[in-house]
Structure 1
């Protein structure tokens, strides 16, 4: 049995009392033996009291006059560093007794932990300041918290967990005052509201313990065993420094059910304490839910209008911030099924801003967090859902199938972090808290995109999806990827693991990985190997393209804006014409991408057009300039990035024109009709991109249509406005189709140039 230095207990006080925090009689015996050893031959062995409500109440009454130094003591059981042998048996037999699977302890692993001491009078004074109801209960909590802090020196910072949450929250006088005000506003008896609050806290509050944390970590390793995790440590240094003085709120994108299982161990390995993950109660099913709750997951209802529930959530978040516990949730609200970052949800962020105002914490920092997979099993399932398949309900059967599937793939997941953002800074800069929340959410979303690295898988997807009806040989494939790689390097964009995308071997491995996954097919029966998209895998590959699509949107817009000038009726083009077209596209695509304000949008667009041709300002009015300028470019993006979106939007616009007047809009039925219409158009070669057949894209098109008041068939002038909407989309689809033709002509030249070089060499 080992021990910590006990000098903290030797403060010169004439009398001190040890409070023993024990889980068993063996712990009591071990603690008393340690006290005996510390006393040596002294005639006055310090008193020891086992912490329990009765003994502590008796102790506080009897010792008030002598004012002893109270020294908390605990027998800590260190966790051995070993892996759990997890199998189907673990998954199928987890229950309320799940913690039996955690590693057992032996007597040789005990460590005596001594917490920070305090005099009884000091504890009484602190108790009076809180307005609590029980001095003995307060002393017990303070002793346990002091021991928790000391114990983390032994077992590690991952075990920094809040204790006595409900007791600390509800025992304060300020809480009871606010509760009374809440009951009055709800016009309900205080007792009823208090009971409701306790029900919510029982469901919501994470009740961590060491063995559950250990087991959750082992389960996480098993669930994510298919992946190697690479962490951008450069971005973490500023985050680590801030965490010394402030609570952090990690806000990752959401790509997979694995996200929290990947992020937690990576952060713990880098020395961060465990996050409190704000998770939807939909994952609270047995056995995952009970274990998750005991491991730091806060289970909250996904939708709620109950003012008592909202108030309780704010109180809990305020408590966690005041105790400097880190939080984590997924700002998109749910998994992205397209690979693009979804619009942020403001709900939890709004509660956070309210909680900070009511917390003892001076500030909290938002940490934009990017999680990127180069392969992901569940993409195929999400693609099926975008084609109309029903989403499988979360449950034990789904979880078991998901776990099994992880053994069938191998890949890498990349974790990157943006610059932390001060919550207090947003509040101080905006008088309206709602505006502060919205600006913070958009800033975090933009930072997540900027931190997301370009993967080799994204480039392979970009190449294949631009020419999906055509197989590529090796030379053609590289003719697309090489200039894209150069563009990425010239712009200084982040790359996965810092790898060199110009390296032929790196990109060859990426193509082979997609072939092995069955997303890309290889044809070897001809004179040379050919690669082409597998049937019905377009949305799967689009997911990986879309992980990096935000880096290429402005370039694609620049191509379209420049090319559209050739249709100018006067033949003379001014910069104002380019800007007008750009703003039209910005409005058309505002539900797909984060563009920033008009000034930022203009600066980014101008920089992209400069890359296309630095002389465009003086040459724009020359006849045929636009076409010649774009034809000379080493690569084209508009047909790869934006044409599928325009085609999906066109389907929605055409279906809106068919809606009957006076009929109430039925969104589910309308989406089903769009899906059938899109599939029919693709079969008839009226759509050039199969990834345009997507309920997710139809949904964002409907958001745009609703924003323009096009869903109400009885609205004034709606028929004309629907026609204008369809015509606007068709015009941009036509221009992006012209870019596609350019790209195919460039591909045709690749083989011709290769043949010419072979002839010259012979």
Structure 2
């Protein structure tokens, strides 16, 4: 580094913590290298830097430090324990090791320089960011140290890779930012506390929140946690999508939003990203995972323990917002599980918007130009913890997380053969392209955020493959516990496999199901996991769902159930049209299509708290595609009740009872119990105990209905499904009396009609039963109408089930 012609002094700054060995290596580098020649002095950022900088009116500041290289080159076959033992990951050795390495292995060290900057430029940048603190020499020295650290980290990653990108001095930089301090002053005035107290509370929140990552801690944590997943699953990642993400990450921060089915999701995803040289994500986790004594190590490895509820703590909310803005502005990637918890049913849960709102604020308020959201699907062949989650759906108490729980979980994972864990990434979503301006009305911003969350959920579903286990449990759960031979299962599975191929759906391992030996292998694996039972005491082996394991089987089925929902809805709609066509008044083909599409949209609304549906226009397009698969000649057929019903009876396989029965059964239980309450309110917020008692009631009465044959199977008796059904009832205004319910229902019906017209769909939903029926103004009548519609849907599912049994009997030769 040579001085300029004007002889501006050149000073080197080490970011602090420099050992005597490193100081000697830097001085030798200054004296003996072309790059270091011209540097007049070397300053330590933690030793009198403020006073030293004050001596210069102008100078060229060159960040410098020593980087230590690994003893061995890391490759994919190197275990994490071997990495730690052999120092195969970059880190700073202890002082005594540095002395030995410098003497015996000088190739292990390299003196790095960051991007130099003029002292005047640094002072200008400091004034812009520090505000009232800009005149403080000590604050300026801290700013220079942070700037040096950032540019040196960037230089180091150019040869060790992005895997070890970590932030430094986070809390210090956040608390010194002028805009944030001004925000705290405003909050202090609003809540009646002093500025000093606001700063102290913000500093305390930062200490609680900020993950202070270190390379050694990251490697140690991942090594310690590796046994929880590495021996259980063979992880298969779609690495083709990672190349584009890597390019985007050079300009923008990424926010990974994976599906959440297991405690080890973040470990599996983190391992995939680490092996592909992505920096460690900052993973947002609930405070319930703050397990002693691992919590501190986890924080240093990038886990952010965030409160599940912020309440009215304005300072904590401001700290979280600022922390997110800081991380995103520095292009640190984030990760969290926006369902709010593990899925107990196997399908995606409704998203939570809280943390996503903080990311949106960073974009709309100009902290970052853009952020890309990355939908990610993590699908497991088998999961040990599904059994415990199924028990929770039947009312069992969830075991609290702790050291004892972790030890038990680790033992179970070592003894579990989980098959494959498949990681796939959806299309990245630009947040800037989908958000309104920062001054847009609050409702507009809220709706935009909901649409973004919906798009993420669709991206997760679209990247989720259909597994062999999902397809087999879908098949076996649809035959009312009737045991099936291998050949019978093959005959039922074959048309579904053909359907999947025609649609070009993502799959993994389905080829095995066309082969007898492959099918036997998958069934044997499910039998070892106690999901399927096999009886081989007769002429040939038969298979059925293990007694008491229906919720577990439903979990695996539901992993891929979203791919079949549109066809299931279409089947119920066609049946409805064939049953309601007037005998004395012929309808045109267009009128029949309009009736089918209208009923399909109504069922879509009935299931909107269970599945993620596209806009109505897109949904109708999907219905047309499904209809083409069911009957390519449907548009040219004579529109009679017989020909309409023939679309169903002439197909090779029906799916409505396999796909929708458990959800509609749960809605039936809830709607009937609600109807029996008459006009009595059920207010979750005002009376949470009554709400819980109602769920208990649904569970008990649902079990009676199952024994009486009114419900299809035990998978319908899920507390999570009952809660989703109550969310639907709340959306329909059926939980509490609303004086304006009649007018509200009319407005909702009119809005749906206008939306349908705008989408060129078949028209608005009929209002003769339930839903937004404006003819039933009192609560009791509307509840009974809703129950009537639920009963009709379940009746139709039973009819479809009978049709499918007839088709199956024709194929397999076995009747129910």
TM-score (norm 1): 0.90
- Alignment partner, residue 466 of structure 1: 478
Shifted more, 353-362 versus 330-339: the winner is 353-362
Pick closer, same or farther for the CA change 1:651–1:620 going to 2, 3 Å: farther
User: Contact (CA 8 Å) 1:31, 1:73: kept in 2 or not?
Assistant: no
User: Contact (CA 8 Å) 1:18, 1:73: kept in 2 or not?
Assistant: no
Shifted more, 242-251 versus 506-515: the winner is 506-515
Q: Give the drift of 1:364.
A: 1.0
- Alignment partner, residue 329 of structure 1: 336
Q: Secondary structure at the match of 1:140?
A: helix
Pick closer, same or farther for the CA change 1:344–1:663 going to 2, 3 Å: closer
* Cα root mean square deviation, aligned: 2.9
User: Contact (CA 8 Å) 1:30, 1:75: kept in 2 or not?
Assistant: no
- Alignment partner, residue 796 of structure 2: 735
- Alignment partner, residue 672 of structure 1: 696
Pick closer, same or farther for the CA change 1:523–1:38 going to 2, 3 Å: same
Pick closer, same or farther for the CA change 1:67–1:737 going to 2, 3 Å: same
Pick closer, same or farther for the CA change 1:151–1:569 going to 2, 3 Å: closer
User: Contact (CA 8 Å) 1:249, 1:365: kept in 2 or not?
Assistant: yes
Q: Secondary structure at the match of 2:433?
A: helix
Q: Give the drift of 1:523.
A: 0.8
Pick closer, same or farther for the CA change 1:165–1:21 going to 2, 3 Å: closer
Q: Deviations over 1:569-588 (max 9, x none)?
A: 62345223212321221121
- Alignment partner, residue 344 of structure 1: 351
Equivalent residue in structure 2 for 1:50, among 44, 51, 57? 44
- Alignment partner, residue 303 of structure 2: 297
User: Contact (CA 8 Å) 1:429, 1:436: kept in 2 or not?
Assistant: no
- Alignment partner, residue 559 of structure 1: 571
- Alignment partner, residue 461 of structure 2: 449
User: Contact (CA 8 Å) 1:367, 1:417: kept in 2 or not?
Assistant: yes
**Separation in 2, partners of 1:452, 1:51:** 50
Equivalent residue in structure 1 for 2:807, among 729, 746, 751? 746
Equivalent residue in structure 2 for 1:491, among 500, 503, 511? 503
Q: Secondary structure at the match of 1:249?
A: strand
**Separation in 2, partners of 1:500, 1:751:** 20
**Separation in 1, partners of 2:713, 2:637:** 33
User: Contact (CA 8 Å) 1:463, 1:480: kept in 2 or not?
Assistant: yes
Q: Deviations over 1:678-735 (max 9, x none)?
A: 2222223332222111111111111112222222379862222222111111111111
- Alignment partner, residue 3 of structure 1: none
Q: Does 1:283 pair with 2:276?
A: no
**Separation in 2, partners of 1:444, 1:583:** 22
**Separation in 1, partners of 2:697, 2:459:** 37
User: Contact (CA 8 Å) 1:78, 1:110: kept in 2 or not?
Assistant: no
- Alignment partner, residue 127 of structure 2: 128
Pick closer, same or farther for the CA change 1:320–1:21 going to 2, 3 Å: closer
User: Contact (CA 8 Å) 2:58, 2:118: kept in 1 or not?
Assistant: no
**Separation in 2, partners of 1:587, 1:281:** 35
Q: Does 1:271 pair with 2:277?
A: yes
Equivalent residue in structure 2 for 1:60, among 31, 53, 56? 53
**Separation in 2, partners of 1:43, 1:173:** 38
TM alignment of 1:181-580, pairs within 5 A: 181-225=186-230, 226-305=232-311, 306-410=313-417, 411-428=419-436, 431=440, 432-496=444-508, 502=514, 505-568=517-580, 570-571=582-583, 572=586, 574-580=592-598
Shifted more, 512-521 versus 649-658: the winner is 649-658
Shifted more, 262-271 versus 462-471: the winner is 262-271
Pick closer, same or farther for the CA change 1:388–1:689 going to 2, 3 Å: same
- Alignment partner, residue 174 of structure 1: 179
**Separation in 2, partners of 1:579, 1:349:** 34
User: Contact (CA 8 Å) 2:64, 2:111: kept in 1 or not?
Assistant: no
- Alignment partner, residue 721 of structure 2: 697
Q: Does 1:637 pair with 2:655?
A: yes
Q: Secondary structure at the match of 1:427?
A: coil
User: Contact (CA 8 Å) 2:470, 2:557: kept in 1 or not?
Assistant: yes
Pick closer, same or farther for the CA change 1:501–1:288 going to 2, 3 Å: farther
Pick closer, same or farther for the CA change 1:429–1:181 going to 2, 3 Å: closer
**Separation in 1, partners of 2:693, 2:414:** 38
Equivalent residue in structure 1 for 2:68, among 76, 88, 92? 76
Q: Does 1:724 pair with 2:789?
A: no
User: Contact (CA 8 Å) 1:253, 1:370: kept in 2 or not?
Assistant: yes
Q: Give the drift of 1:208.
A: 0.4
User: Contact (CA 8 Å) 2:486, 2:520: kept in 1 or not?
Assistant: no
| Aligned positions, number | 730
Shifted more, 561-570 versus 536-545: the winner is 561-570
User: Which ranges of structure 1 fall in alignment gaps of 5 or more residues?
Assistant: 1-7, 87-98, 755-762
**Separation in 1, partners of 2:481, 2:26:** 79
Q: Give the drift of 1:667.
A: 1.2
Q: Deviations over 1:486-531 (max 9, x none)?
A: 1111001111279676455544432221012111011111001111
- Alignment partner, residue 13 of structure 2: 19
Pick closer, same or farther for the CA change 1:50–1:559 going to 2, 3 Å: same
